Chains A and B, each alone.
Chain A
């Protein structure tokens, strides 16, 4: 071990000694390679109470023109972050101050969040719209503990989130009390199972290199969260004002494409197929993904089932057969899965009775194909990878990047006979698509005038108000029975973002706000059909929306329950033949009913409702929409049927 006393230099005395030895420091500061050694030696002595209250000597240097956190801010700026989301925390106070003052609070702009889970979920929603991460700052201890579920959601959803955690590594530099409780040997340990990469830089040059590397790793499919720990001493130690330090160039890796031979084999199977079906889940990362899938589907005149991990395929396209998922799979001779999170589940029926059973719904001789970047990166502890699907061709690659070459390979194999067969198939699918739409409209008519309001009516009323605008639905539609996809016309990748990934409740409200933050500069109308139980995890996002002037139309899907759990308890009560009327105990959100309009108003957000008569819904949505068009958030509380 080194003798610490020989390298300890009090932070406040650093400039004094640095001034005395300025020539020596300047001589070494000109080269990047010299920085780590020099900067490690600038660590200050522990702060004693006596030093704090005592009279400092006139020679003591108490200010610094530039610190390590200024350089960290330079690094962060170089990565193009528009925003940094954080609940303030002392372990990253240096970086916080550098971002808002040295960095001018622009690119990134500091977004004040009321909970670390909200910070990360905002980053999650933002990334799915914008296609790149925003930064999140958090304590390496209590902050990341709060943030953990949201990080897990982003991990399961294959979304890049960039975390910077404050920590104080050197035990001799921690303030007694809180800084010990807020310090940890290995800050990233508790989230390492569900992040892609992390590092603990011990010099500023190290920080720069790891920060750039982390960004590249996060953005390479499968895109995932990454973590950089920003040591408190490294943030706060002064550095010479004229020091020049290198920030490595960021070059993103081209996304991995499928092997040429395997792609050719898939093309051969698809062209020869009589009843193919394409299943797309987390496929379209960008607009190019949607365009490529349209090109492939139209070349083959193949039905497409959009499983809803993203907006992969236009809902009104005649080849969109999403409502016929199980039927098409049952009839298929070739199934192509594109970034399907649960391919086994898409190909099998599962029965949740006392004896849990699964049954394949595919033909025995059907050829099953998977193109999935998940095959390139998998971990063992958390089981989000789902049950193993027995496929015939597996391509470990990014599906969006692979589709153009697959479409070309398909076109090369087309013959006149196959083209005629495809056209016949396409005509039949077009008719089936129209029938699906008509069936959806007929189904939506049931409970049309009911109170509480049906989710179909809610969706239809919202659509009527937004359909002529550049809109973006940023909430998952699972709990409103996918009515938007069945009734609305989606055709852009940002119009639907999928769900939380890890099914962690509390994602919806902050992810919607993050998506709205991304949509703001594009002038898009952001719509969030917000579940009541989800909002109650961290309703402080309403304040963040008001504080930062983020326009967002929140429409409550207020069924006054953690309804999924109501049904789960019902299953158990029915199975046990007892207490079938008691399933609201522990699951209902009533007595008292939450007044979401007042909740919003209390945080400076326009609030209206509760609306429970369907006749009142349209005008109420229009009023809220007028507020959003002024650039403000709005909240309309709608009392709804369960699903």
Chain B
């Protein structure tokens, strides 16, 4: 699945291509391709720049989410309680997990909490790339999606894996 957002005029596609929900090397590759005028030696540098670009992308997106939460940023309009119910009843959980944690088997990205803006979220759900089935407004209203977004926004970030002893065996 690919999530599409826009930043400074550069399309950054964040996708699940390689078994890891969230990001793929295809995304930074396209980003780098857009930066060709900067004379980046794409082919030579790409393989070893990708992890760096990925890491930066992860840091930026994660930091943005944390900053918004810690600063008490304006929550999106929507009813998170209703959104939680809809996330289950409308089948979102089937691929993304009940907390939006994503799953490699389904190819569904981790979306709890989302890194997209509400507008991008709405746009993507209506016209998804890759495998995600499209949810039309006939099936799910904008208000319902806004509630779902509010629910996903309400999901707190977990601790880092290195801070969970059971994950370091």
Contacts and interface: CB of A to CB of B under 8 A. Distances in A.
Given A567-B95, A580-B139, A323 B18 contact: yes
Which range contains the number of B residues in contact with the other chain?
35 or more
Given A323-B20, A443-B110, A447-B98, A461 B166 contact: yes
A130 B87 CA distance: 45
B135 A574 contact: yes
Interface stretch (A394-402, A448-456, A539-547): A448-456
B139 to A, nearest CB: 5
A37 interface: no
Given A327-B50, A349-B130, 6 more contacts: A327-B25, A435-B55, A447-B101, A461-B166, A578-B138, A642-B94
Contacts of B160: 441-442, 445
A599 interface: no
Interface residues of A, number: 61
B24 A327 contact: yes
Nearest to B90: A580
Contacts of B169: 460, 463-464, 467, 487
Contact of B166 (A323, A464, A479): A464
Nearest to B138: A577
A602 B106 CA distance: 35
Given A323-B19, A439-B20, A445 B103 contact: no
Contacts of A265: none
B91 A581 contact: yes
Nearest to B48: A428
Contacts of A428: 47-48
B137 to A, nearest CB: 9
Interface string B79-112: 0000000000111011101110111111000101
A479 B47 CA distance: 30
A450 B98 contact: yes
B16 to A, nearest CB: 10
A428 B49 CA distance: 11
A298 interface: no
A580 B91 contact: yes
Given A351-B130, A442-B161, A460 B94 contact: no
Interface in A559-600: 563, 566-567, 570-571, 573-575, 577-578, 580-581, 583
B167 interface: yes
Contact of B98 (A351, A448, A452): A452
Contacts of A446: 97, 99, 101-102, 110, 112, 158
B135 A580 contact: yes
B21 interface: yes
Given A487-B167, A581-B89, A447 B161 contact: no
A391 to B, nearest CB: 22
B140 interface: yes
Nearest to A618: B166
A415 B91 CA distance: 56
Interface of A: 275, 322-327, 330-331, 349, 351-352, 428, 431-432, 435-436, 438-448, 450, 452, 454-456, 460-461, 463-464, 467, 478-482, 486-487, 563, 566-567, 570-571, 573-575, 577-578, 580-581, 583, 641-643
A50 B91 CA distance: 67
Contacts of A567: 91, 94-95, 106
A561 B94 CA distance: 10
A275 B47 CA distance: 9
Contacts of A467: 169
Contact of A563 (B94, B104, B140, B168): B94
A425 to B, nearest CB: 9
A254 B37 CA distance: 57
Contacts of A445: 158-161, 163-164, 167
Nearest to A563: B94
A438 B54 CA distance: 13
A207 to B, nearest CB: 46
Closest 5 CB pairs of A and B: A441-B161, A327-B25, A574-B133, A446-B101, A643-B103
B76 interface: no
Nearest to A488: B169
Nearest to A463: B169
14 contacts: A326-B26, A330-B29, A331-B46, A351-B130, A352-B131, A441-B160, A441-B161, A442-B161, A443-B20, A445-B164, A446-B99, A463-B169, A567-B94, A643-B106
B75 interface: no
Contacts of A438: 161-162
A352 B133 CA distance: 9
Nearest to A455: B103
A482 B139 CA distance: 32
B143 interface: no
A447 B97 contact: yes
Contacts of A452: 98
A570 B161 contact: no
Contacts of A441: 160-162, 164, 167-168
B114 interface: no
Nearest to A467: B169
- Among A435, A464, A573, A580, the one with the most B-chain Cβ atoms within 10 Å of its Cβ is A580
Nearest to B159: A445
A478 B130 CA distance: 20
Interface string B146-159: 00000000000011
Given A327-B50, A431-B51, A567-B95, A481 B103 contact: yes
Contacts of A643: 95, 97, 103, 105-106
Contact of A575 (B19, B103, B134): B134
Contact of B139 (A463, A464, A578): A578
